[in-house]
Amino acid sequence: MTVRRIGTWKDAVRRASDAAIACLLPGGLSIASILAHVDGYLFPHEGVFLYWLARSGPGSGSIVEIGSFRGRSTLCMAEGVRGRRETRIFAIDPHVYGTADELRENIAHFDAGSLIEPRVLPSVDAARSWGEPVRLVFVDGNHERASVEADIDAWVPHLVPGGFLLVHDSTSVSGHPGPTEVARERLRIGPLFDAVGQLGAITWARRPGASSWLPPAYGKAILDPCIRTLKGRRS
Ligand SMILES: C[S@@+](CC[C@H](N)C(=O)[O-])C[C@H]1O[C@@H](n2cnc3c(N)ncnc32)[C@H](O)[C@@H]1O
């Protein structure tokens, strides 16, 4: 089975340059072919960040992704958990853009069927009947403010001590108003979280626990300012 080719030659060039940039970062070689073939909304250093969180993040339990689309971010995390068999990734998405089949094809192409379990339903519905510990939640679903808040309210209670909550499109690098406002207000150091940070368009927060592990921020110092500058020129 092959990966569907999507978009114009410009999209293909962008994917290839994303893959090349990832190769310059530690661990990036492992996800380069995913970035080269699967379209989506994820900068290369974000893919590397997700890879390391999935590979080396603390705690045991599943990874929950809210909003998988074609599987670009899902597959980066799957590459991270390959050597860590206790972790499964639940790819929760009602696929409002009709991407369910494409996600399944991409999972098969990258031989990640034993690592990723797609669930085709809205995130809060999935959370209602949830019964297992979660060590990482990546929120990248509906970007309306109320929806981002509902995702956080539904999933933070399932996070293990030391687990990580990530909200995409919530920083000045490719931010959206809904996730950005919610991350600014909710992902703060206090009773819920003992460490917070940003990389690319991702805001992250760590649940208090035994672990002092922090994710590496490869590429942030160079790529974040570059993307912000390019965005400023275009708008
Ligand atoms: C920005 S895309 C995700 C991009 C993806 N993470 C990537 O790496 O390319 C947003 C996705 O959220 C999904 N979505 C919309 N509402 C949702 C909800 N209530 N729960 C989970 N996913 C949702 C959409 O179907 C869409 O596929």
**DSSP for residue 5:** P
Residue whose Cα lies nearest atom 23 of ligand 1: it is 141
Could you list the residue range(s) of the whole structural domain that residue 118 is in? 9-234
Tell me, yes or no, whether 101 lies in a domain: yes
Q: Give the number of domains in the chain.
A: 1
Question: Does 95 contact ligand 1 (Cβ within 6 A)?
Answer: yes
Measured distance CA(164)–CA(192) in Å, rounded:
11
In DSSP terms, which residues pair with 91 in a beta bridge?
65, 118
Residue whose Cα lies nearest atom 27 of ligand 1: it is 69
Averaged pLDDT of the chain: 95
Q: What is the pTM of this model?
A: 0.96
In DSSP terms, which residues pair with 171 in a beta bridge?
none
Q: Which pLDDT score, from 0 to 100, does residue 235 have? A: 46
The percentage of residues in the chain with a pLDDT greater than 90, rounded to a whole number, is: 87
Question: Does 90 contact ligand 1 (Cβ within 6 A)?
Answer: no
What is the distance in A from the centroid of ligand 1 to the CA of 210?
32
Tell me, yes or no, whether 58 lies in a domain: yes
H or E stretch at 195: strand 195-199
Cα 204 to Cα 74, 102, 129, 160, distances in angstroms: 17, 28, 25, 15
Question: Does 140 contact ligand 1 (Cβ within 6 A)?
Answer: yes
pLDDT tens by residue, 64-101: 999 999 999 999 999 999 988 788 999 999 999 999 99
Question: Does 200 contact ligand 1 (Cβ within 6 A)?
Answer: no
Residue 228: give its domain's CATH number: 3.40.50.150
Give, for ligand 1, the residue of 73, 93, 102, 128 to mutate: max count of ligand atoms closer than 8 Å to Cβ. 93
**CB contact burial 69-108 (16+ within 10 A = b; e otherwise):** bbbbbbbbbbbbbeeeeebbbbbbbbbeeebbebbbbbbe
Question: Does 94 contact ligand 1 (Cβ within 6 A)?
Answer: yes
Residue whose Cα lies nearest atom 15 of ligand 1: it is 142
Tell me, yes or no, whether 99 lies in a domain: yes
Tell me, yes or no, whether 4 lies in a domain: no
Tell me, yes or no, whether 1 lies in a domain: no
